Amino acid sequence: MNDTYKPQELEPRWQNTWNETALYRQVIDENTPKYYAMTMLPYPSGDLHIGHWYAMAPSDARARYLRMKGYNVMFPMGFDAFGLPAENAAIKQNVHPKTWTYANIERMRAQLRSMGTMIDWQREAISADPSYYRWSQWFFKKLMEMGLAYRKMSAVDFCPHCNTTLAREQVWGEDRHCERCGTPVIKKDLEQWFFKITDYADELLDFSQIDWPERVITMQTNWIGRSTGADVTFRSESGEPIEIFTTRPDTLWGATFMVLAPEHPLVDQITTPEQAEAVQAYREQAARLSDIDRETAEREKTGVFTGAYAINPVNKARIPIWIADYVMMGYGSGAIMAVPAHDERDFEFARKYGLEIIEVILVPGRDVNEPMTEATTSKTEGVMINSDFFNGTPVTEGIEKVTAWLEEQGIGKAAVNYRLRDWLISRQRYWGAPIPVIYCPEHGAVPVPDDQLPVLLPDDVEFMPTGESPLKFHDGFLHTECPICGRPSLRETDTMDTFMCSSWYQYRYLSPDYDLAPFDPKEGEYWLPVDQYTGGIEHATMHLIYTRFFTKTMRDMGLVNFDEPMKALYNQGMVLGEDGEKMSKSRGNVVAPDSLVDQYGADTVRTYLMFFAKWDQGGPWNYDGIKGPQRLLNDVWMLANADYEPQKVDKEADRALQRKTHQVVRKVGEDMESFSFNTAVAAIMELRNALLAAQRDKNVSVAIWQEAIEKMLLVLAPIAPHITEELWSRRGKPYSIHQQPWPTWDEEIAREEQVTLIVQVNGKVRDRIEVPADTDDGALKEAALASENVQRFLDGREPRKVIVVKGKLVNIVI
């Protein structure tokens, strides 16, 4: 049966068989250890791109491997279906977001099936389904009850021409203009909903229960940005308190000016008439900058004097109050004391505007009589100077002693601050989960009762060219009654940030049709928490923080009994275009997986994606490179279909093929555990080569040949599921190969009989010697010294040192 390998025929056939037999239906089995493997769900943008394949095919392969290892593996999939692109499509293409989204989901679902994944589609969850966002709304209400959801005034990006707020993705270019009309964007204050993620800041800094990449842990630690110091109260000359947080209370005597964020509410009160015009112009300029631009260390510092002064509480010095865009309302109180001698930004600012610089920390080697050329910022060296009775205090003791003194004087206290801000979840958009709140003229913000959930998005809406949310103009949605008193009231027209929906989707996979709670507790007791999560590093400081926060709140609601959503995390890299650049339509370097499947078959594409680069690194696509995996599968097809009969059995050849077989089984298993898919495929290629040699020489026994073929199919099955299923069936084996146990290997059989010993003289390779694999260090040393090449370099001299790396290398130093 050595017919031609035709993946385009056999792959759809096996996909249908798997579906008809419910091969991948994942149900509770108390007698089998569970393994919940999950990869990040996609946004239904229209088509799967090769990046989706790169994220999903290898994670699918590992899930298949773990199933063969005896685990009851759940590997679900869904769609993060709300969001801005659908609304943009509605405006630009005159198509309803729901129509656009669900058409894309249908297309992408078919593409995922064509990949041959072991996804259990009965567990699919779509965040735009009312049965899903009902529970997103329920969670919002629970967070309100816990005091974790609240409403306050906050600045947003706003287009004055379109009269609408803009999401970050809608603000373009260095000049920050509206993507729709090109008008410069401004900042505007609106009442918006927040989640108090800051209440969990310290918990979020505890990574002791999870095995996550160090890079993600570092990024989250920096994002949360915990810092200790003191809260200190300055006052303006007219008496208004100005609260500041400082990590360096020991430098208070060096504060020579104050800086407020341009948005600080005190600015209007303290600005003098002479400075009002300049201050207003600067505030308008700052309003057009993004937070990222304002925080950039390399950007030149600018500011404007308000005309007002403050009193330094520790020495009663009169210091000017400025505004500057490098101070943010989102960090601390939106006000800082500026100590130019010991802070780089303040030093740069003071030099630019001719403000006083007073040195209050003297570091070793510094002559105070010499002008400062840069700020000295050490917290470990130096003593306090120009600081009244604290003069001479070592800098290592100053922070603690000054903080205690501030508390005694009633002008400050020890404090902890965080860079992390509360999570703004309001979006002035239609295509999202409606926030379940009603505004009553008597009772204020009232949550919608549970029996009225979900608050449904109306389908009959009209999208305006401006992009304003049609919910604001939909009478049927907007006007309702207060659930408490029945008076005419208005619904909240904001919808929730889509990150809200994706923060808990792993729980909905357990029971997407369950209507008594967000998930069936019986399913949760068995499957939770997630054992392995895979996805891109770009989600480190948003989704991956939000989902941790959400699980902690669910724990506090009594829904789960653990602290972290996913035990382990692995970040895959990115497939680049052939030009080495990130794929984009504008560059013309996008790789379309559908055409590749049509040409090569899904198994070849899967195998190449696992072979061409280390999964955590990625790399440039190479159309020529896919030919290697194509040859591998063609050879596997030919070898497994071959009618093998030996001419003369060679015991050494038998041992060699059996050794290679067991080595490859061991190697592929180890690589699957460690996500090293490229070397797993390389090992299978080695076994393929050994089988081709045996077929050519016809010198191994039928039993050894059959063992090698069958174990090759089994280790290849997670990577190339269709071809291996077909070949397994053709060999008369029981259905399905994906229900077979992972093949065993024997350490003694896998052990090499001979190894190549590298012999170096003074670090340079001078010989290679074949030695028995179990040779001890003494015998390896003797063999190396006996080498003719080594003897020639020794030239009768005794070596100074002989270094033996067991079984690999001997370095002779002369």
Q: How far apart are CA 549 and CA 553, in angstroms?
A: 6
Place of tokens 């029945």: 486
Q: pLDDT tens, 696-721?
A: 999 999 999 999 999 999 999 999 99
CA dihedral sign, ordered 179, 180, 184, 190: negative
Q: pLDDT tens, 266-320?
A: 999 999 999 999 999 999 888 777 666 777 667 788 999 999 999 999 999 999 9
What does the domain layout of the chain look like in residue ranges?
139-221+423-498, 227-417, 622-749, 752-813
Q: Amino acid identity, residue 704?
A: I
Dihedral-angle region of residue 631 (phi above 0 means left; psi in -120 to 50 means alpha; beta otherwise): alpha
Contact 498, 82 (CB under 8 A): yes
Fold of the domain built from segment(s) 139-221+423-498: Methionyl-trna Synthetase; domain 2 (2.170.220)
Q: Inter-axis angle of helices 602-611 and 593-600, to 10 degrees?
A: 110
Output the pTM of the full model.
Answer: 0.87
Cα-to-chain-centroid distance, residue 606: 23
Q: What is the mean pLDDT of the chain?
A: 92
Instruction: Report, as an integer, the average pLDDT of 163-179.
Output: 71
Q: pLDDT tens, 726-769?
A: 999 999 999 999 999 999 999 999 887 777 889 998 888 888 88
Question: Could you tell me the pLDDT band of residue 548, with boundaries at 50, 70 and 90?
Answer: very high
Contact 640, 656 (CB under 8 A): no
Instruction: Report, as an integer, the average pLDDT of 791-802.
Output: 87
CB hemisphere CA count around 419 (13 angstroms)? 13
Beta strands in 643-732 (DSSP E): none
pLDDT of 154 reads 81
Output the six-digit token pair for 178.
């509206």
In order of 179, 510, 514, 544, the CA distances from 521 in angstroms are 45, 9, 10, 24
In order of 307, 375, 596, the CA distances from 339 in angstroms are 19, 9, 61
CATH 3.20.20.100 fits 622-749, yes or no: no
Task: Report the range of poorest mean pLDDT among 61-65, 257-261, 370-374.
Answer: 370-374
pLDDT of 297 reads 67
Report the 3 state secondary structure along 191-205: EEEEECHHHHHHHHC
Residues in the chain: 814
pLDDT at residue 257 greater than cutoff 70 = yes
139-221+423-498 against 752-813: fold identical: no
Question: Could you tell me the pLDDT band of residue 402, with boundaries at 50, 70 and 90?
Answer: very high
Q: pLDDT tens, 669-699?
A: 999 999 999 999 999 999 999 999 999 999 9
Contact 33, 72 (CB under 8 A): yes
Question: Could you tell me the pLDDT band of residue 469, with boundaries at 50, 70 and 90?
Answer: confident
Place of tokens 């009775």: 389
The share of the chain scoring above pLDDT 70, in percent, equals 97
In order of 325, 426, 501, 543, 682, the CA distances from 498 in angstroms are 30, 10, 5, 10, 41
Instruction: Report, as an integer, the average pLDDT of 339-361.
Output: 95
Q: How far apart are CA 306 and CA 233, in angstroms?
A: 19
Q: How far apart are CA 91 and CA 94, in angstroms?
A: 5
pLDDT at residue 640 greater than cutoff 90 = yes
pLDDT of 90 reads 79
Residue 329 phi, psi (nearest 5): -65, -25
In order of 179, 557, 744, the CA distances from 701 in angstroms are 70, 64, 20
Q: How far apart are CA 598 and CA 9, in angstroms?
A: 10
Contact 292, 272 (CB under 8 A): no
Fold of the domain built from segment(s) 227-417: Isoleucyl-tRNA Synthetase; domain 2 (3.90.740)
Q: Quick one: which H or E segment has residue 323?
A: strand 318-324
Q: Which of 722, 778, 786 is nearest to 14 (CA)?
A: 722
Q: How far apart are CA 425 and CA 784, in angstroms?
A: 69
Residue 367 burial (CB < 10 Å; 0-12/13-18/19+)? exposed
335-338 and 257-260 strand pairing: antiparallel
Pick the CATH number of 752-813 from 2.30.42.10, 3.10.20.590, 3.30.70.1290, 3.40.50.2300: 3.10.20.590
pLDDT of 787 reads 85
Instruction: Report, as an integer, the average pLDDT of 573-595.
Output: 86
Q: Amino acid identity, residue 6?
A: K
Beta-carbon count within 10 A of 94 CB: 8
Place of tokens 């919940």: 36
Residue 680 burial (CB < 10 Å; 0-12/13-18/19+)? buried
